[in-house]
A and B are shown apart, each in its own frame.
Chain A
Amino acid sequence: MIWLRHSISSPSASADTLMLWLLRAAAGVAASLVLLILFFLVAESWPLLMRDLPITHFVTDSSWHPDEGAYNLAPMLSGTLYAAGGALLLAMPLGIASALFITYYAPPRGADAYRRLVELLAGIPSVVYGFWGLTTLVPLINQLQPPGSSLLAGILVLTLMVLPTITLTAHAALVAVPGDYLRGAFALGMSRWAMVRGVALPAARMGIVAGAILAAGRAVGETMAVLMVTGNVVQHAGGLFDPERTLAANIALEMPYAVSDHRAALFVSGLTLMLLVMLLWSAAARMGRG
């Protein structure tokens, strides 16, 4: 009959099959990128990792003196954690308050405008944050206590950069709280704050924490803005006004002229950074699912 195939593979069926394989190939490339990145990071770190086993070398060397073969990453690691931790301490309350503002407290128009503003804040490039910090924040801090380029400047800039992540994920989590819970709380005669604290925030807890972890990942991996405002002195910062250097900034600063072992040490930093971020990400993913 008219719709019976004359040959086994009709042209359209083979076109469909071809298309499916093309799509699969594209997805294969996209999916294997992460592995490719990990592979190259490990491959480039390998010479140093192999020669200098045990790896504790990277935290027990005298300091970071690539010329003398001393590759202690500990000051950079502490610098990264201080800056990211400080930023998170500031951004968490600000971000959650912002999310509460958008979800419950602002008049509808104000909520929309403020959400738009937070989205725009997320769109500002990190180099612009860094430039603004360098030309505005650093001179201000310098008046308080020289030199100005400091952990504090890094924390403040990072706070602004991760705030949108925290705000928007917390907002999404709060909106997802079933209206019935809130109506139930209202029926019990609870005040607005009691309702937020007792019902909305606990119900949205997982989403808020997942957002904070994502923000931490972003803060840990951030390079340009931090590099431009923290002074980049390799040391364990003793206070907020001390300059310091992060892992990511270290890579950006020294990559242009690093060779052989020094270069490998930078790839070790990159690998550390990548593993740290992947760890944070999988924690956030588990939270989000839970």
Chain B
Amino acid sequence: MREISHVEIMSSGHARGDRMVQWVVYFAAILVSAAFVWIVWDLVRGGIGHLSWTFLVESSRDAGRAGGIGAVLVSTVLVLLIALAVALPLGWATGALLAEYVPAAGGLGHTVRYSLQVLAAVPSIVFGLFGNIFFCVYLGLGFSILSGGLTLACMLLPILVSTAEAGLRAVPGAHRLSATALGMSRTATLWHVLLPAAAPALVAGLLLGIGRAMAETAALLFTSGYVDRMPDSLLDSGRTLAVHIFDLSMNVPGGDAPAYASALVLIAALLLINVLAMRFAAGWQRGKMVTV
């Protein structure tokens, strides 16, 4: 992070051009902050009036102009649960393999890490195309919550793997030695010692993944679909909150007020997740200092 020494050194610098550059830098920061405040302010102003308990629990009527986002929230949670149920075991297992079982610079580890980094760079619309052709058409799942969840699972893998790998690598080697010296098997060591010790990092990664998934729209447009009814099963189409905002603002004249309110709900949920993730990440840092 910030080094104190930089500041001490820097603050004694004096020159004519210096002040001007300082103003430019401050101006940029103020500009960006202002844009952030502007966005948040717009959303709050536009959405707070429409927000109510009934808005949160009712199903939408009249293409979303009236009623609420109850069914949409249910679909969102279902899509999220499927994505996590698939991506968590896969991602954490891959992270464990990379951190504990293969040499850091070796062939297999390198290949897996490389392809996951490429996966992380793939645009979400491409995930949407892939999800559509593979899950909806090829596997015959159709436009469904299941298809959407599985597509999201693919998107979440890179972040879950990298946080799990980093978390496990941060567990002090002494724990591995102690566990081995106590005659614990490798599996038991991983399961009972290393994963619990890396739990804060795993949770932080999980929360980041949830945030990423909740924000996603393009990958879900033609995998989980638009239908805003309450879903009856996982094979039903279901509209997530982000898709709901998109549909209201682009396709529904007069849908702005509920769109604002939905955006506000989404932002609030993401903010909460972000704060929680930071708390876990901070706890993890502290934990490292105690145990190392």
**A residues adjacent to B (C-beta < 8 A):** 12-13, 15-16, 19-20, 22-24, 26-27, 29-37, 40-41, 44, 93-94, 97-98, 100-106, 108, 111, 114, 117-121, 123-132, 134-136, 160, 163, 175, 179, 182-183, 186, 190-196, 214, 217, 220-224, 228, 248, 251-252, 255-256, 266-267, 270, 273-274, 277-278, 280-281, 285
Contacts and interface: CB of A to CB of B under 8 A. Distances in A.
Contacts of B123: 220-223, 248, 273-274, 277
Contacts of B221: 252, 255-256
Contacts of B216: 125
Interface of B: 1-3, 5-7, 9-10, 12-15, 17-18, 21-22, 24-29, 31-33, 35-36, 38-39, 42-43, 46, 89-91, 93-94, 96-98, 101, 108, 111-112, 115-119, 121-130, 132-134, 138, 154, 157, 161, 185-188, 190, 211, 214-218, 221-222, 242-243, 245-246, 249-250, 256, 259-260, 263, 266-267, 270-271, 274
B24 A117 contact: no
B249 A134 contact: yes
Most chain A CB within a 10 A radius of its CB, from B90, B161, B246 = B246
A135 B41 CA distance: 13
B29 A114 contact: yes
Contact of A221 (B46, B90, B125): B125
A21 B3 CA distance: 45
Contacts of A228: 246, 249-250
A182 B186 contact: no
B218 to A, nearest CB: 4
A167 to B, nearest CB: 8
Contacts of B29: 97-98, 101, 106, 114
A125 B266 contact: yes
Contact of A277 (B9, B116, B121, B154): B121
Given A98-B29, A131-B263, A252 B125 contact: yes
17 contacts: A27-B93, A30-B91, A30-B116, A40-B133, A40-B134, A44-B129, A97-B29, A121-B32, A131-B245, A134-B249, A175-B2, A182-B9, A182-B10, A190-B13, A191-B15, A274-B123, A277-B121
Contacts, number: 276
B126 A221 contact: yes
B126 A175 contact: no
Nearest to B256: A135
A222 B123 CA distance: 7
A228 B154 CA distance: 25
A132 B39 contact: yes
B129 A267 contact: yes
Contacts of A256: 221-222
Given A101-B28, A118-B32, A123-B211, A33 B101 contact: no
A265 B202 CA distance: 41
Contacts of A127: 215, 217, 242-243, 245-246, 263
A131 to B, nearest CB: 5
Contacts of A163: 32
A34 B249 CA distance: 33
Contacts of A194: 13, 15, 17
Contact of A30 (B33, B90, B127): B90
Contacts of A103: 2, 6
B2 A31 contact: no
A132 B43 contact: yes
Contacts of A19: 186-187, 190
A283 B154 CA distance: 24
Contacts of B27: 97
B126 A274 contact: yes
A41 B134 CA distance: 10
B125 A15 contact: no
A183 B9 contact: yes
9 nearest A-B pairs in the assembled complex, by CB-CB distance: A221-B123, A191-B15, A125-B215, A97-B28, A192-B13, A26-B93, A23-B97, A223-B218, A281-B121
Nearest to A217: B121
Contacts of B129: 40-41, 44, 251, 255, 266-267, 270
B246 A23 contact: no
A263 B249 CA distance: 26
Contacts of B217: 125-127, 223-224
Nearest to A214: B121
Contacts of B36: 117, 120-121
A120 B117 CA distance: 23
A195 B274 contact: no
Given A220-B123, A252-B128, A267-B133, 14 more contacts: A12-B185, A19-B186, A30-B90, A34-B118, A40-B138, A121-B32, A125-B266, A221-B125, A223-B217, A223-B218, A224-B218, A270-B126, A277-B126, A280-B121
B246 A281 contact: no
Contact of B22 (A26, A105, A111): A105
Nearest to B1: A175
